[in-house]
Amino acid sequence: KVHYHKWDITYQYKSPDCFNKLAITINGQTPGPTIYASQGDTIVVEVKNSLLTENTAIHWHGIRQIGTPWMDGTEGVTQCPILPGDTFTYRFVVDRPGTYIYHSHYGMQRSAGLNGMIVVKVPEGFPEPFTYDREYNILLNDWWHNSTNDQAAGLLMPENQFKFVGEPQSLLMNGRGRFNCSLAANGNCNASYIECAPLTLTVVPGKTYLLRIASITSLSALNFEIEGHSLTVVEADSHYVDPFVVKNLNIYSGETYSVILKADQDPIRNYWLASNVVGRKPGTPTGTGLLNYYGIPRGRHPPTAPPTGPLWNNTYYRMQQSWATRAHPNFIEPPPVKSDRVIILLNTQNRIDGITRWSLNNVSHDLPHTPYLIALKNNLHHVFEQKPPPETYDIKNYDINVPPPNRNATRSTSIYKLEFGSVVDVILQNANTLTANNSETHPWHLHGHDFWVLGSGLGKFDPETDPKNYNLKDPILKNNVALQTSGWTAIRFKANNPGVWAFHCHIESHFFMGMGIVFEEGVDRLGKLPNSIMGCGKSKLGN
């Protein structure tokens, strides 16, 4: 089955949290429309760029694009951007069931509202390992009142004029939140807007619901909770997990979870849906919605205060909370027992020529003007740095608990070339930022692949001892994983999807500041690239 969508990308004044500002919309909506499909279907999205002054590109987050790497929508990596006034048609197969996200992959446009959900159903009759009466989608986001232009300009200021994006003004559920209008200095803020009416999910006492929860936040690690109800986690990044029950769920940017909710509480009132910031000192009120028990007026607030979630800086708790580590006993795909290559990436914050950047092994990533996929396919070796980036860092002597002794780093367009079919381990190693006694959570996302999460720990990864504790029996498969403060995370994947794939921190400002790398594998196995991805850098000549 082929699903056709026609999207017009425009700037419109919107009030997601009751504060009116310019947002990027799809057919006038932010979040954009939810795409529904079944496993094996083809999705066709004709994207018209009606942003009058800027390019765009749309990434289908979690979709592996096997055989269609040029549809991954990662500007600078898999395609030239879609120019203002131009139309680009994305066409790809959704080869696995689950919950996915789409969002702009150009500049920091995701933060301006260009995002939405994709739901891929299992085929008719396929026995899911859980049952439910109906399902709801919950897209979690954070939201600022200034523009992404303001934000980008602040990030590019030199030395102590650097201005970080700061903590969000509000937290949204399906694009709706509630800023306290009495705090609105300027701009129009009107809490009675229909647009900022809180998300309300109606449940029938005794019934069972599947909640598809996705986070598209630009910065925040969130903790989601439904007051008075426990949640049974059954799926993570569209892979079935060994089910476990939580009171509240940590969800990192880019992740999706499916949880089972039973309407098993006292039906005489409504209950809060709550999302709270964890991992960074909160500066944002709890994001709320309502769980409405059928028969109670939909808008009636619970008699209680919304839950405020776990302590934001309890790393140990967050480590424990990452219970989504084991695959469902009936859906285990064990990893290869050994890897062909181990890449260790030290995450540091640096200052390069006065500009604050993030780096991996002291290399901060810049995107080339000719997308890698085009450059590699056409052997244009002069359009990006050919020297390979460092495979590791000075593990013995580097102190991860102090600011980088050498603030400086280098910027580069270099990429990691992987032997097709090889098994690759990546160890993400966190460290202190430029600020003393400060390490930050980084949610990493890999394009084009799922990876096994073999293990994680606090402190410095030890190549001699830590691999002995990897879970090689039933590790979970995901395409997003959190790197906790001052800790490490180990992942393994097969380089078996011909293409060029970004692997980066999913914090919008961090990727903008160079916190990512790019893998290449099997590009020589690809057929002719579509002309539609050309038109920039050295690809002006067309094919």
Ligand X SMILES: O=C1O[C@H]([C@@H](O)CO)C(O)=C1O
Contact residues: ligand X, CB under 6 A: 164, 349, 433, 435, 440
Distance CA 162, CA 153 (A): 9
Q: How far is the CB of 491 from ligand X (least distance, A)?
A: 22
Closer residue to ligand X (CB): 227 or 440: 440
Residue 14 or 110: the one with the smaller Cβ distance to ligand X is: 110
Q: Closer CB to ligand X, residue 146 or residue 435?
A: 435
Burial-class residue 439 by CB neighbours within 10 Å (0-12, 13-18, 19+): buried
- Taking the complex as a whole, the smallest distance from the CB of residue 152 to ligand X amounts, in Å, to 13
Residue whose CB is less far from ligand X, 171 or 219: 219
Is the Cβ of residue 258 or residue 364 nearer to ligand X in the bound state?
364
Closest to ligand X by CB, 155 or 491: 155
Q: Torsion angle of alpha carbons 528, 93, 478, 177, nearest 10°?
A: 120
Closest residue by Cα to residue 116 from 243, 229, 212: 212
Q: How far is the CB of 353 from ligand X (least distance, A)?
A: 16
Minimum CB distance to ligand X, residue 349 (Å): 6
Which strand (E) or helix (H) includes residue 416? strand 416-417
Report which secondary-structure segment, H or E, holds 526: none
Return the number of the residue (443 or 455) whose C-beta is nearest ligand X: 443
- Distance CA(150)–CA(378), nearest Å, equals 37
Which is closer to ligand X, CB of 283 or CB of 388? 283
Least distance to ligand X from the beta carbon of 185, Å? 22
Distance (Å, rounded) from C-alpha 77 to C-alpha 520? Answer: 10
CB of 356 to ligand X, least distance (A): 6
- Residue nearer to ligand X on the CB measure, 109 or 349: 349
Q: E-assigned strands of 15-159?
A: 21-26, 35-38, 42-49, 58-61, 87-93, 98-104, 115-121, 134-143
* Least distance in angstroms from the C-beta of 293 to ligand X: 40
Give the residue with the Cβ less far from ligand X, 54 or 440.
Answer: 440
Tell me whether the omega of the peptide bond preceding residue 31 falls within 30 degrees of 0, making it cis.
Answer: yes
Name every residue whose Cβ is closer than 8 Å to that of residue 268 and which is 6 or more positions away in sequence.
293, 296
- Under DSSP, the state recorded for 189 is B
The least distance separating ligand X from the CB of residue 433, rounded to whole angstroms, comes to 5
- What is the closest distance, in whole angstroms, from the C-beta atom of residue 411 to ligand X in the complex? 16
Q: Based on CB atoms, which residue is closest to ligand X, 74 or 509?
A: 509
Contact 439, 358 (CB under 8 A): no
Beta carbons of 128 and 122 less than 8 angstroms apart: yes
Helix (H) or strand (E) segment spanning residue 223: strand 221-226
CA distance 282 to 284: 6
User: Mapping DSSP to helix (H, G, I), strand (E, B) and coil, where does residue 29 land?
Assistant: strand
Query: Which residues, other chains included, contact 394 with Cβ-Cβ below 8 Å and sequence gap of 6+?
Result: none
Instruction: Find the shortest distance in angstroms from Cβ 338 to ligand X.
Output: 35
Q: For residues 160 and 13, what is the distance between their CA atoms, to the nearest angstrom?
A: 33
Look at the chain and count its residues. 543
Q: CB count, 10 Å around CB of 385?
A: 16
CB of 56 to ligand X, least distance (A): 24
> Phi and psi dihedrals of 104, rounded to 5?
-60, 140
Q: Smallest distance from the beta carbon of 440 to ligand X, in angstroms?
A: 5
Q: What tokens appear for 56 in the block? A: 């765009």
The 3-class secondary structure across 113-146, one letter per residue, is CCEEEEEEECCCCCCCCCCCCEEEEEEEEEECCC
CA-wise closest residue to 289 among 204, 170, 118 = 170
Q: Which is nearer to ligand X, 234 or 346 (by Cβ)?
A: 346
Q: Looking at beta carbons, which residue is closest to ligand X?
A: 164
Closer to ligand X at the Cβ: 13 or 164? 164
Burial 390-413 (b: 16+ CB within 10 A, else e): beebeeeeeebeebbeeeebebbb
- From the CB of 324, what's the least distance to ligand X, in Å? 24
Q: Which pair of tokens denotes residue 200?
A: 């309300």
Q: Radius of gyration over alpha carbons of the chain, in Å?
A: 22
